[in-house]
Structure 1
Amino acid sequence: MASTLSDLRAAQPTVWINPDLSSFQIAQADNDLTKADIDEAEALLIRAAPWLAENFPDTEEGIIESPLMLYGNVWVKLDSHLPISGSIKARGGIYAVLKLAEDLGGTLGDTEWYSKYTITVASTGNLGLSIGIMSAAIGFNVEVHMSRDAREWKKQLLREKGCTVIEHDGDFSAAVEFAREASQHPDTYFIDDENSRDLFLGYAVAARRLKEQLSRNGVEVNAEHPLHVYLPCGVGGGPGGVLFGLKTEFGDNVHGYFVEPTHAPSMLLGMATQMFNEISVADIGLDGRTIADGLAVGRTSAFVGKRMRRLITACVTAHDKTFLQDMRRFHAAHGIFIEPSAAAGFAGHRAFAHLPGTHLVWATGGSTVPEDERADLLAL
Structure 2
Amino acid sequence: MPPSTAPLYAAPWPVLENGDARLRRRCAPVATADAGLERDIAVLAATLGEFRDRHGYGRAIAAPQVGLDRRLVVMDLGAGPIALVNPEITWRSAETDEYWDDCFSLPDCVVRVRRHRHISVAFRDAQFRRRAWERLPADVSELLQHEIDHLDGCLMTDRAVGEAAIQPIARRAHLVGPQRPAHRLQLSRIRAAAAAIDPVFLQSRQYMSAPLSAVAGATVTLKDETDNPIGCFKGRGATYFLAEYHARGGRGPLVCASAGNFGQALAYAARRYGIAVIVYAATTANAKKVERMRALGAEVRLASSDFDAAKAIARHAAAAAGALMVEDGREAAISEGAGTIASELFADDPALDAVLVPLGNGALLNGMARWIKAASPGTRVIGVCSQGASAMADSWRGGRLVAHAGVDTIADGIAVRQPIPEALADMHGLVDEVVLVDDATTLRAMRELHAAHGLCVEPSAAVGLAAVLAARASFAGRHVATVLTGANLTPSQRETWFGDAAPAAPASTCKETAP
Question: Normalising TM by the smaller chain, what interval?
Answer: 0.7 to 0.9
Contact 1:257–1:348 (CA under 8 A) maintained in structure 2: no
Paired position in structure 2 for 1:299? 418
Does residue 98 in structure 1 map to residue 219 in structure 2?
no
Q: 1:40 aligns to what SS in structure 2?
A: helix
2:483 paired residue among 336, 358, 362: 362
Alpha-carbon distance in structure 2 between the residues aligned to 1:205 and 1:300: 23
Q: Which residue of 1 aligns with 2:69?
A: none
| Cross-structure match for 1:349 | 468
Distance apart, 1:25 and its partner CA: 5.0
Cα offset for 1:254? 1.5
Whether the 8 Å CA contact 2:260–2:281 is kept in 1: the answer is yes
1:85 to 2:230 alignment: yes
Residue 192 (str. 1) matches residue 327 (str. 2): yes
2:498 aligned with 1:378 = yes
One-letter code of the match for 2:313?
Answer: F
Q: Which has the higher contact order (CA 8 A, sep 6+)?
A: 1
Q: State the Cα distance separating 1:317 from its structure 2 match.
A: 0.8
Equivalent position amino acid for 1:281 in 2: H
List aligned pairs for 1:236-247, cutoff 5 A. 236-247=362-373
Residue identity opposite 1:280 in structure 2: A
Structure with larger Rg: 2
**Tell me, what secondary structure is at the counterpart of 2:203?**
coil
Q: Secondary structure at the match of 1:175?
A: helix
Residues 294 and 300 of structure 2 are in contact (CA less than 8 Å); yes or no, is this contact kept in structure 1?
yes
Kept in 1: contact 2:235–2:269 (CA 8 A): no
Change (3 A) 1:75 1:194: closer
3-state SS, counterpart of residue 270 of structure 2: helix
Distance 2:322 2:404 in 1: 35
Corresponding residue to 2:310 among 175, 185, 190: 175
1:17 is matched with: none
Residue 4 of structure 1 aligns with which residue?
none
Deviation at 1:141, TM superposition (A): 0.9
5 Å-filtered alignment, 1:210-225, equals 210-214=345-349, 220-221=350-351
The Cα offsets for residues 250-281 of structure 1, whole Å up to 9 and x where unpaired, read as 2x2221111111110122100111113xx213
1:1-380 mapped onto 2 (5 Å cutoff)? 22-23=137-138, 29-45=181-197, 52=198, 59=200, 64-71=202-209, 72=213, 73-81=219-227, 83-104=228-249, 117-184=252-319, 188-214=323-349, 220-221=350-351, 226-250=352-376, 252-276=377-401, 279-282=402-405, 287-350=406-469, 351=471, 353-354=474-475, 357-366=478-487, 368-379=488-499
Q: 1:257 to 1:102 in 2, by over 3 A?
A: same
Aligned to 1:183, what secondary structure does the other structure show?
Answer: helix
- Looking at structure 2, the residues matched to 200 and 192 of structure 1 have their Cα atoms a distance apart, in angstroms, of 11
Q: Give the direction of change, closer, same or farther, for the CA distance of 1:378–1:174 in structure 2 (3 Å limit).
A: same
Opposite residue 403 of structure 2, the aligned amino acid is S
The letter for the 2-side match of 1:269 is: D
How high is the sequence identity, in percent, across the aligned residues?
A: 25
Asked whether the 8 Å contact 2:468–2:475 carries over to 1, the reply is no
Mean CA deviation greater in 228-237 or 162-171:
162-171
What is the CA–CA distance in structure 2 between the aligned matches of 1:169 and 1:147, rounded to whole Å? 5
For residue 309 of structure 1, report the CA deviation from its aligned partner.
2.2
Q: Aligned-pair distance for 1:355?
A: 5.6
Distance 2:328 2:180 in 1: 22
Cα shift at 1:120: 1.0
Q: Give the secondary structure class of the aligned counterpart of 1:281.
A: coil
- Paired amino acid for 1:104: G
Note the C-alpha offset of 1:172.
Answer: 2.0
Q: Secondary structure at the match of 2:222?
A: strand
Q: Please state how far the C-alpha of 1:144 moved relative to its aligned partner.
A: 0.4
With the length of structure 2 as denominator, give the TM-score of the two structures: 0.58
SS at match of 2:226: helix
| 1:82-114 residue CA offsets vs partner (Å, 9 max, x unmatched) | x23221212212211222122217xxxxxxxx5
Q: Which moved more, 1:293-302 or 1:370-379?
A: 370-379
Structure 1 unaligned blocks of 5 or more? 1-19, 46-51, 54-58, 106-113, 215-219
Q: What is the TM-score normalised by the length of structure 1?
A: 0.77
Deviation at residue 357 of structure 1 after TM alignment:
4.0
CA distance 1:334–1:348, shift in 2 (3 Å): same
**What is the number of residues matched between the two proteins?**
319
